[in-house]
Chain A
Amino acid sequence: MVEYETHSHDVLVVGAGGAGLRAAIEAAASGARVGLVCKSLLGKAHTVMAEGGIAAALANVDERDNWSVHFADTMRGGQYMNNWRMAELHAKEAPDRVRELEAWGAVFDRTPDGRILQRNFGGHKYPRLAHVGDRTGLEMIRTLQDYAIHLGIDVHMECTVIALLKDGERVAGAMAYDRERGRFRVFDAKAVVIATGGIGRAFHITSNSWEYSGDGQSLAYRAGAALQDMEFVQFHPTGMVWPPSVRGILVTEGVRGEGGILVNREGRRFMFDDIPENYRSQTADNEEEGWRYVQGDKNARRPPELLTRDHVARCIMREVREGRGSPHGGVFLDISWIKSKMSDSSGHIRKKLPSMYHQFKQLADIDITSEPMEVGPTTHYVMGGIRVDGDTQMSTVPGLFAAGEAAAGLHGANRLGGNSLSDLVVFGKRAGEHAARFAAEQSSSSLPADAIDRTAREALEPFDRASKGASTEGPYQVQHTLQETMQELVGIVRREDEMVRALDCLASLRNRTARIAVTGNREYNPGWHTALDLSNLLTVAEAVTRSAIERRESRGGHFRADYPEKDTGYAGFNILVSRDTDGSMRISREPVPAMRDDLRQIIEENK
């Protein structure tokens, strides 16, 4: 018999970034007993790294903005693959969620008349991102954290969930281990909210931390939930490329929002060379107009650097591939050029982009107020995830909810910058509210003793293998190979033959994972943690690859060199991933529901 502690909650929230915290707050406010489990310390989740801002049609800077424009922008950015109901709710509710953050103590940058300031960002028609310099995510997570700690929520820090537990069809809790001591914990819960973020660690070059190992997607998949849109992975156009040790670290889109330009080695602002048809009417066709836009001229159109992330990333790849890249295989991003336009440009840059200034100064010896940065694409975000109901955020498993990056739907084929922070609070709140409501309607459940036992035994196998001394593998080496494989074969430019090869590699990595042995004991043992994370990484890597093979077209974050054009035949359905009865991964196509007429009209009016 395995030993474990048991904790009982009405609602268990897994993940304590923006979505998890907001869900926990909402569930606790409705009277539920809430448990919040997080892999790191409270306040360290990936939300902390969000830089540019939170998108909400507050109309503080441009009074023409409203929810319907935000809705239309989000749908256009997502290539209409979005769950339109989520896009509607998001656009309508984001302003209230931002004002709520202010009421809870967040201190956003201000307009001259004392309201919340908003900045320009890619794909947003009007200045829409409430922000705090370039550390908006920190402001948001700290505000939510400091609010949540007074609500009687039980926080289980540095605790990793390794399985969801079910009672018949519905979810009944989760099994976890505490990282510090390596002891097992069983959570008895009537509803579970997955808010574990993304999958970036499946790739070699990424802006994501170690936490982003696809835990939530994989846990839900193994519990029988459907995943959706997993082929849509966002490669952010601007990650650091040099020195090698910082490759992939994010350079905020806010740099371009403040007037930063992209330049190739020939000195050409190449973003003017390829402006997609559906954005042509909104995009400046000369440098002077672009500059007027970032300065707030309401009659100017936005510069092409602020086109959507998928497009900008591909343009950068094209420049590099065709030999026009910067010395270390990226392109130049330059904000220092604004010195020709304003007197105190250096002070202005440091005020608006303080963490970028320090990041480059400390990690790359570059002073961004006088020199350009070298940047290139980095794996940043997964639009796909757990399939949920747009209103309640419940997955296809009763009692299992998902919010934030772990959930699919809002962003379609490509996410607009700033829409993720608003996603977290809008749908975190909804998930918490509906999870608490669901929990209140349930009688207590019984936990499956056999599943608990099996999970614990499997989790401890890497230690047993070390003592048996057979042919074994190290966890870090397997993880590294997985990341290289996905980067090379299922990265920003994809081809069928390469992805089929990736599936073979993943199968062999699965075999190697089954031979992993770890040294040391169960106390704070990163080798063991890495070994356990690998099965999640392998699941999401396979889901991404199979979905990407299935979509034989290019759309949003998904680019196929062998099918480089958009194909209207593929516009009508989302790709679903679920676990078959024999344990294999099943891919299916689910028609996109017909959009309501009033929403369709909004999109027409905003074309």
Chain B
Amino acid sequence: MGTSAGDSMDVVESGRRAAERSDASAGSETRSATFRIWRGTATDGRFEAYTTGVSEGMVVLDAIHQIQAESAGDLAVRWNCKAGKCGSCSAEVNGRPRLMCMTRLNELDLSEPVTVEPMKAFPLVRDLVTDVSWNFEAKKRIAKFSPRAPDAADGTWRMQQSDVDRVQEFRKCIECFLCQDVCHVLRDHGKHDSFVGPRFLTYVAALEMHPLDTVNRTGELKEAHGIGYCNITKCCTKVCPESIAITDNAIIPLKERVVDEHYDPLTALVRLFRRKPQ
């Protein structure tokens, strides 16, 4: 029962146009590009230049892999999915924190060498790989999800889509830690002991706005997680590959909650009188 409707011919026509467009952008000649890649450790390292061929659609991670296979077998790089879903291949490309797997070469100026270097907010292991284990420790210190008892007849819960849209935005996070890398509190001031960084403020926001969660984390946000250090420069939002509105939708509402609960004079007065003798 094959069909050949008019609609389907439109599909073919626009598909053909898209294919032609991408072929045209490919150019006929094989080009090459030079990459200045950080090699070595933090104490013993330098940029080294590698030149490799460039073909249609290549991303920075493809170039790194090609260089590995051609001339630098031990070039250290962390990666997994190569599809922007796992957040492993974070690095700084021409000074900007990016996922190497989602950075197309055709959006870079290849007449100049492309600089690829590791993230700066974390200790360097070697080449492009940093030790990001601090992030995993930081997450453990955040009070875990604790749902209210199920209240629907079938032993589960009811939640409306409109009530979970915001939480779902935060849960898109792929933990690439680019927001941590660009945050000046961590990158320039090294406040890793007193500030959890934008990734985990977003994580707290997802918990706090989860319709089922029962824990109040404003106390730990103010003290242990150091939310006050954030002065909303929005650098984190700009580099987020998932386009999460980290500052506007996560951090600012959390700051407001903290202010409401801990700095509102009326609340403070009430708390003063309610305080139980220690």
Show the binding face of A for B, using Cβ within 8 Å: 40-46, 48-49, 99, 102-105, 107, 109-110, 113-115, 132-133, 135, 137-139, 142, 146-147, 149-150, 155, 157, 180, 209-211, 242-246, 249-250, 261, 263-270, 272-273, 285-287, 326-328, 332, 334, 336-337, 340, 354-355, 358-359, 362-366, 370-372, 374, 474-477, 480, 518-521, 523-528
Number of interface residues of B (CB under 8 A): 81
Q: Which of B139-147, B181-189, B228-236 contacts A (4 or more CB under 8 A)?
A: B139-147
Chain A residues within 8 Å of B126, by CB? 523-524
Q: Does B261 contact A (CB under 8 A)?
A: no
Q: Does B274 contact A (CB under 8 A)?
A: no
Q: Give, as a whole number of angstroms, the nearest-CB distance from A146 to chain B.
A: 7
Indicate whether A363 sits within 8 Å of B156 (C-beta atoms), given known contacts A250-B83, A269-B2, A518-B74: no
Indicate whether A105 sits within 8 Å of B145 (C-beta atoms), given known contacts A110-B160, A523-B126: yes
Indicate whether A180 sits within 8 Å of B125 (C-beta atoms), given known contacts A41-B132, A115-B156, A526-B74: yes
Chain B residues within 8 Å of A266, by CB? 4, 12
Which among A287, A327, A372, A526 has the greatest number of chain B C-beta atoms within 10 A? A526
Indicate whether A211 sits within 8 Å of B80 (C-beta atoms), given known contacts A110-B161, A135-B85, A518-B73: yes
Contact B171 A49 (CB under 8 A): no
Q: Does B191 contact A (CB under 8 A)?
A: no
Chain A residues within 8 Å of B125, by CB? 180, 523-524
Q: Give the distance in Å from the alpha carbon of A250 to the alpha carbon of B76 in the complex.
A: 26
Contact B174 A138 (CB under 8 A): yes
Q: Give the distance in Å from the alpha carbon of A372 to the alpha carbon of B77 in the complex.
A: 34
Indicate whether A524 sits within 8 Å of B4 (C-beta atoms), given known contacts A99-B156, A327-B16: no
Which of A180, A336, A359, A474 lies in contact with B131, CB distance below 8 A? A180
Q: Does B225 contact A (CB under 8 A)?
A: no
Indicate whether A135 sits within 8 Å of B172 (C-beta atoms), given known contacts A242-B19, A267-B8, A358-B84: yes
Contact B85 A328 (CB under 8 A): no
Chain A residues within 8 Å of B145, by CB? 104-105, 146-147
Q: Which of B66-91 contact A (CB under 8 A)?
A: 68-69, 73-88
Nearest residue, chain A, Cβ from B243: A358
Contact A243 B11 (CB under 8 A): no
Contact with A along B10-23 (1 / 0, CB 8 A): 11101111111111
Indicate whether A359 sits within 8 Å of B84 (C-beta atoms), given known contacts A242-B22, A518-B73: yes
Which of B22, B62, B85, B139 lies in contact with A355, CB distance below 8 A? B85
Q: Give the distance in Å from the alpha carbon of A566 to the alpha carbon of B12 in the complex.
A: 34
Chain A residues within 8 Å of B79, by CB? 209-210
Chain B residues within 8 Å of A334, by CB? 11, 15
Indicate whether A474 sits within 8 Å of B73 (C-beta atoms), given known contacts A103-B147, A150-B144, A267-B8: yes
Contact B83 A249 (CB under 8 A): yes
Q: Does B5 contact A (CB under 8 A)?
A: yes
Which among B9, B83, B156, B207 has the greatest number of chain A C-beta atoms within 10 A? B83
Chain B residues within 8 Å of A267, by CB? 4-5, 8-9, 11-12
Contact B86 A44 (CB under 8 A): yes
Chain B residues within 8 Å of A358, by CB? 84
Chain A residues within 8 Å of B19, by CB? 242, 326-328, 374
Chain B residues within 8 Å of A354, by CB? 172
Q: Give the distance in Å from the alpha carbon of A492 to the alpha carbon of B12 in the complex.
A: 26
Q: Give the distance in Å from the alpha carbon of A359 to the alpha carbon of B57 in the complex.
A: 12
Contact A364 B22 (CB under 8 A): yes
17 contacts between A and B (CB under 8 A): A41-B88, A110-B164, A132-B168, A180-B129, A210-B79, A243-B26, A243-B58, A267-B5, A272-B2, A328-B19, A332-B12, A365-B18, A371-B15, A372-B15, A525-B74, A526-B73, A527-B68
Q: Give the distance in Å from the alpha carbon of A286 to the alpha carbon of B160 in the complex.
A: 35
Nearest residue, chain A, Cβ from B162: A110
Nearest residue, chain A, Cβ from B17: A371
Contact B84 A362 (CB under 8 A): yes
Q: Give the distance in Å from the alpha carbon of A261 to the alpha carbon of B15 in the complex.
A: 13
